[in-house]
Amino acid sequence: MKKLLIALKTSVKTLVLLTIATFLILAAVVLIYKPIYKVTLNGEFIGYCQDKSKLQARINDYLKTGNEDSANIAFAQIDNLPKYEICLLKKDIVTTDEEIYNTVISTGTNIYRYYAILVDNEEKLYVSTLEEAEDAIQQLKDKNSNNINKISILEKYETELKEFVTTEKVVADLYEKKVVIPKTPVSYSRSANLSTTVASLNGISLTRPVSGTVSSRYGLRDGTTHKGLDIAAPKGTPIYASASGKVTTSSYGWNGGYGNYVVVDHGSGISTAYGHCSTLVAKYGQTVNQGDLIAYVGSTGDSSGNHLHFEIRVNGVAQNPQNYLY
Ligand SMILES: [Zn+2]
């Protein structure tokens, strides 16, 4: 029993001694050493960090706002974030949190945000804010710019800033006057063999009815007025309506010397007459379009050779066709 008691006493003593020893060693470590972070970036040592959470918070702030005081900075980016490794070091080691921060952000890039104005998907001008871009487009819309359907905005994220322009400059540069589509068509497939000459009389567009050569002009001839223009062409040459309108005459016969002839009323007091035809194609009362086949050249009526007698009448009075055509 006594033996056992002595053994226990010894054990307690040993335990107490061990505890004291451990405490002393720890105290020594805490006094001489401290936990510190070794920082590496892309595998390279860049310093010892005193306060990891504070340093990382500053880096995160930088990533959000970049290192420049510009309204166009969207964020910043760094290829690789620093790596931290905890270690115990002597207290006199120098920590360089500020330097580490500067080293890290020196590898970063500012990303700028701005807006491109596109025409037909091609970047034309740049503005700083979305508001400016939208304002410019609204103004172009209000001005009824012809290209409004081709204009768009593109949000850009780039490492470099562009030269920005004002809203006024965007509007001035991109505004396109509405193109007024001319009422008078320029050419007709059905009369493609004819000249594309187009004349306008009281707003009615007129084209040449036949291809051929002028053989007799409008004016005094043999003591009377020749009321039209004669265009010589082989028999069967197509004659096309000089303008759209309604066929008011399509008559075979002598017809006062006109022979087989067609008259088309174009409205606005304008009509055209086609004399000495062989076969008539347009029927009385029919509506014809400019360039439609209406008859073929012949030599009927008071005629000595194949030709078209072509008249332009204003309120029934024959005009000189050469004031307008040929
Ligand atoms: Zn004639």
Distance in Å, CA 245 to ligand 1 centroid: 22
Strand partners, 311: 273
Give me the pLDDT at residue 241, please.
96
Does the residue 182 lie in any domain? no
170 phi and psi angles, rounded to 5 deg: -60, -50
Q: Do 200 and 314 sit in the same domain of this protein?
A: yes
Which tokens go with 41?
């970036």
Q: Answer yes or no: is 20 within a domain.
A: no
Q: Are residues 217 and 153 in the same domain?
A: no
Whether 259 is covered by a domain: the verdict is yes
Same domain (yes/no): 247, 226:
yes
Domain endpoint, select from 148, 174, 200:
174
The answer to whether 71 and 164 are in contact (CB under 8 A) is no
- Per-residue burial over 109-140, b = 16 or more CB atoms within 10 Å of its CB, e = otherwise: ebbbbbbbbeeeeeeebbbbeeebbebbbebb
Q: Are 103 and 120 within one domain?
A: no
User: Could you tell me if residue 304 is inside a domain?
Assistant: yes
- Residue 232 sits in the same domain as residue 271: yes
Q: What is the DSSP letter of 51?
A: -
The answer to whether the CB of 202 falls within 8 A of the CB of 319 is: no
Residue ranges of the alpha helices (H) in 66-195?
A: 97-106, 130-142, 167-174
- Clarify whether residues 208 and 282 are in a common domain: yes
C-alpha 189 chain-centroid distance:
32
Q: Among the three residues 124, 144, 174, which one is the final residue of a domain in this structure?
A: 174
Q: Are residues 302 and 261 in the same domain?
A: yes
Which residue reads 């003591």 in tokens? 223
In our burial notation (b when 16+ CB lie closer than 10 A, e otherwise), range 239-259 reads bbbbbbbbbebbeeeebeebb
The one-digit pLDDT tens for each residue of the chain (326 residues) are: 677 788 888 888 899 999 999 998 888 777 777 778 999 999 999 999 988 999 999 999 999 888 887 889 989 999 889 999 988 777 778 889 999 999 999 999 999 999 999 998 899 999 999 999 999 999 999 998 989 989 999 989 999 889 999 999 999 999 988 765 444 333 333 333 454 556 778 788 888 999 889 999 998 877 888 999 999 999 999 999 999 999 999 999 999 999 999 999 999 899 999 999 999 999 999 999 999 999 999 999 999 999 999 999 999 999 999 888 87
Burial 59-81 (b: 16+ CB within 10 A, else e): beebbeebeeeeebbbbbebeee
Residues 93 and 161 both lie in one domain: no
Ligand 1 centre to CA of 89 (Å) is 118
Same domain, 207 and 261: yes
Instruction: Quote the ligand 1 centre to 289 CA distance (angstroms).
Output: 24
Q: Note whether residue 19 is domain-resident.
A: no
Number of structural domains (the chain) is 3
The pTM (predicted TM-score) of the whole model is 0.46
Contact at 8 Å (CB) between 297 and 240?
Answer: no
Whichever domain contains 249, its CATH number is 2.70.70.10
Non-local (6+) Cβ contacts of 103 within 8 A are: 41, 46, 47
**Domain-located, residue 98:** yes
| Centroid of ligand 1 to alpha carbon of 212 (angstroms) | 14
Distance of CA 214 from the midpoint of ligand 1 (Å)? 10
Taking alpha carbons only, the member of 226, 187, 277, 307 closest to residue 263 is: 277
- Within-domain flag for 12: no
Same domain? 72 vs 198: no
Domain that holds residue 141: 113-174
Q: Is the domain of 35 the same as that of 140?
A: no
Judge whether 233 lies within some domain: yes
Q: Does 90 lie in the same domain as 118?
A: no
Q: If you measure from the C-alpha of residue 246 to the centroid of ligand 1, how many angstroms do you get, rounded to a whole number?
A: 22
